[in-house]
Structure 1
Amino acid sequence: MSPRISVIMSVRNGSAYLEATIRSILDQTFPDFEFIILDNASTDNSGQIVESFVDSRIRYIRNAKDLGLTGSLNAGLVLARGEFIARMDADDVSLPHRFERQVDFLDQNPSVALVGGWAEVFGDEQIAEIVEHPCESDAIRTWMYFQNCFVHPATMFRREIIGLEGLSYDIRFPIYQDYPFFFLLSQKYAAANLPEPLIRYRVHANQGSVSQRYPARRDELVTIYHENLVTLIADIDGEAARSFAYFHCFELDINEVKPLRAYRQARAISQRILKTLRERGTRVPGEMETRARRIARSRFRMAIAASGLSPILSEWLGNPLETMAACHGILFFLARKLRHSRGKNA
């Protein structure tokens, strides 16, 4: 008989935190699961740690070579037998009630394909804090165009739907493989986040998304934002969409297009995005406006403080996504001005 949950976790040289992670899964209050642990060609003692646990629910598979996280997770999707698939990372900790809460929610809401939850972020040099994301499906569907609303190792989704849609993690994205995966799910099906922490998300120097070089992370996000935008506005100009994606990534050193042109394109697209969202009747733009204005004001203050200029641009704080684009443009020109003045004084 198949288990209700297939837990998929890939590990590569993760011995430092692996024991605590495995124990947090085995100690779940909902016990009906298989735990698929894919050892992605580790060179440390990760395999020995896994094999030290005597539990019939563990399925330990060692990859013959390093498939990368994305490839390893896809192998796990093929192996999964459960009604639901739960993700876990080898350095985080699932809270004891996580599976129980998620299974109860999915059983009570059969139209929901994907459910996540909030996370308690912690680390050796970081005070623990709760990361919250939108919980309702309509809000998630809109926000997913502009940010990932799910903590990957806190998610659970229906295996049947993955099979029907032929979904897998996109191998183009070795770092942010979850974002496009969840974007596609949340656009076609109902999705939700439970308004409570389900995991403890560990931040450390060797973490994949942290240790990867910034250009690689930026390039993945730019591509994802670009592709999301095209699904929202089908006839959008490619260069303009990429300009907006760069600004959305807080990328100030734009080499592919002229900075002023990119800034103007990003502002124009921002207005069009909001118009499209309002035509769909969503209430989310109001929420986005509040958040964008708060972000922009903070960044304006930092930019003005660094440059010594007076706050003369506050009239731009009115349009949510336009505000973010405007803020990025201002920061670009202030940074350029500062670099120029430092060069003259050197």
Structure 2
Amino acid sequence: MNPKISILTPSFNHEKFVGLFIESVLKQTLEDFELIIVDDCSSDNNVNEILKFKDPRIKLIQHPYNQGINAGLNTAFENASGEYLVFCASDDMLTPNALEVIYKAFSENPSVKAIYPSLIKIDENGVKEDKKFGEYTNKPRTEYLHDFFMHGNCLTSPGMAMKTTDFKEILYPLDIAMCNQQDTQMHIKILLNGEIKILDDILVMYRFDPKTSNVSARTDITIRRENMEIERLMDTFLAMKDIDLLQKIFAKEIAKLGINPQEDMIEYFLGRMALLSPVEAIQVWGYHKVMESYSTKENAKRLKDIYGFDFKAYLGMLYHTEDKIAKKYRKYKKLFNIFLGVNIALCGVTVWLIW
């Protein structure tokens, strides 16, 4: 008989933490689960630490070479048999009631595409922070999609759970080329297919150590990698074909620009929307999408017929973008003018007093 829940766990060089993670799984109040750990060719003692546990519910699969997080999740899924899936890294920990709460949440919210538990951060020594990591509230997916499109990731992934059938239909196979934006891409695809549910319950202790070389650590390299992946990430939104959904997501931007989405002009429309983002990398993606939409005589004619978009409008697109440098310059110029005005006034008063 298949288990209720399959826990999918990519693991790489976590010999210090993987035992603690497995212990937290084995303490679950819901015992009908399987734990599938995929070791991604660790160079430390990770595998031996996993092998210390003899519970038949634990499956260990070893990659012959290092392949990345999404490849590990794909392998784990290919060996899973549960009704629901829970994603958790091998350096994190679950609270004892985590699986029970998640399973109950699905029974109470059968139509949602994913459930997200609340998290609390712990450091390398297991010391907990005194508040939740990320204060998220439930809101319509249109608002989440707008935030993802304009600003980037606004959800966490440890402990995220899905129906196995939904994962297969929406996400599998995961894009193994994505690294720092891999969870962001997952969130976007899920939201494009339906609503999500965020739980108030803290069910995951999220291990975070900024001193490590972990791919999620906020270093210059990981930030650069995130920016390098934005172009491919934003292409995920091109799957949006539902005109009603697009109108709801971008209602404010549509009112500002006076353009509406058309079925055969999604790329152009999303490009124009992206130019209104405060994130420069998203603006660049948007500009490229408009360029591609305008690149032939036939396309240019269609844009003129549908939107009145000609070469003059093409050149004027950037007037709608937010230039952070120019904005900062205007701010300091204003402050300088105020400072200069005050000093002139003081000088005038001083001269009057001396006179």
TM-score (norm 1): 0.68
Query: Any gaps of 5 or more consecutive residues in structure 2?
Result: 241-245, 247-260, 289-314, 338-355
What letter is aligned with 1:88? Answer: C
Residue 135 (1) aligns with residue 190 (2): no
- Structure 1 runs (4+) deviating above 4 angstroms are 124-128, 237-245, 249-254, 260-263, 306-309
The 2-side partners of 1:37 and 1:230 are apart by 32
Q: Provide the residue aligned with 2:351 in structure 1.
A: none
Q: Provide the residue aligned with 1:2 in structure 2.
A: 2
Answer with 66-75 or 214-223: which moved more: 214-223
- Retained in 2: the 8 A contact 1:94–1:199? yes
- Retained in 1: the 8 A contact 2:14–2:91? yes
Residue 248 (1) aligns with residue 279 (2): yes
The 2-side partners of 1:98 and 1:219 are apart by 35
What letter is aligned with 2:135? Answer: E
- Retained in 1: the 8 A contact 2:21–2:90? yes
Q: Provide the residue aligned with 2:215 in structure 1.
A: 208
Q: Provide the residue aligned with 2:185 in structure 1.
A: 180
What letter is aligned with 2:279? Answer: H
Answer with 186-195 or 130-139: which moved more: 130-139
What letter is aligned with 2:11? Answer: V
- Retained in 1: the 8 A contact 2:6–2:80? yes
Q: What is the deviation of 1:218? A: 1.4
The 1-side partners of 2:336 and 2:319 are apart by 21
The structure with more radius of gyration = 2
Q: Provide the residue aligned with 1:79 in structure 2.
A: 79
Q: What is the deviation of 1:105? A: 0.8
Query: Any gaps of 5 or more consecutive residues in structure 1?
Result: 269-295, 313-346
Rate the CA distance shift 1:311–1:94 in 2: closer, same or farther, 3 A. farther
The 1-side partners of 2:117 and 2:319 are apart by 37
Residue 160 (1) aligns with residue 165 (2): yes
- Retained in 2: the 8 A contact 1:150–1:193? no
> Paired residues, what number?
276
The 1-side partners of 2:231 and 2:135 are apart by 23
Q: Provide the residue aligned with 2:237 in structure 1.
A: 228
The 2-side partners of 1:221 and 1:170 are apart by 14
The percent identity for this pair of structures is 20
Q: What is the deviation of 1:224? A: 2.3
Q: What is the deviation of 1:221? A: 3.3
What letter is aligned with 2:122? Answer: F
Q: Provide the residue aligned with 1:192 in structure 2.
A: 197
- Retained in 2: the 8 A contact 1:7–1:36? yes
The 2-side partners of 1:160 and 1:56 are apart by 24
Q: Provide the residue aligned with 2:55 in structure 1.
A: 55
What letter is aligned with 2:149? Answer: Y
- Retained in 2: the 8 A contact 1:114–1:192? yes
**What RMSD, in angstroms, separates the aligned Cα atoms of the two structures?**
3.6
Task: Give deviations 1:65-88, integer Å, cap 9, x for gaps.
Answer: 111111111111211110001000
The 1-side partners of 2:203 and 2:111 are apart by 21
Residue 110 (1) aligns with residue 110 (2): yes
- Retained in 1: the 8 A contact 2:70–2:182? yes
Task: Give deviations 1:173-221, integer Å, cap 9, x for gaps.
Answer: 1222122222122221221111232211121123222255322111223
The 1-side partners of 2:117 and 2:164 are apart by 18
- Retained in 2: the 8 A contact 1:10–1:40? yes
The 2-side partners of 1:137 and 1:238 are apart by 20
What letter is aligned with 2:321? Answer: A
- Retained in 2: the 8 A contact 1:91–1:202? yes
- Retained in 2: the 8 A contact 1:17–1:90? yes
Task: Give deviations 1:18-42, integer Å, cap 9, x for gaps.
Answer: 2212211221221111000000001
Q: Provide the residue aligned with 1:271 in structure 2.
A: none
The 2-side partners of 1:128 and 1:141 are apart by 30
The 1-side partners of 2:149 and 2:105 are apart by 25
Rate the CA distance shift 1:92–1:308 in 2: closer, same or farther, 3 A. farther
TM-score (norm 2): 0.67
The 1-side partners of 2:122 and 2:280 are apart by 24
The 2-side partners of 1:54 and 1:311 are apart by 70
Rate the CA distance shift 1:238–1:195 in 2: closer, same or farther, 3 A. closer
| Other structure's SS at 1:209 match | coil
What letter is aligned with 1:36? Answer: I
What letter is aligned with 1:82? Answer: G
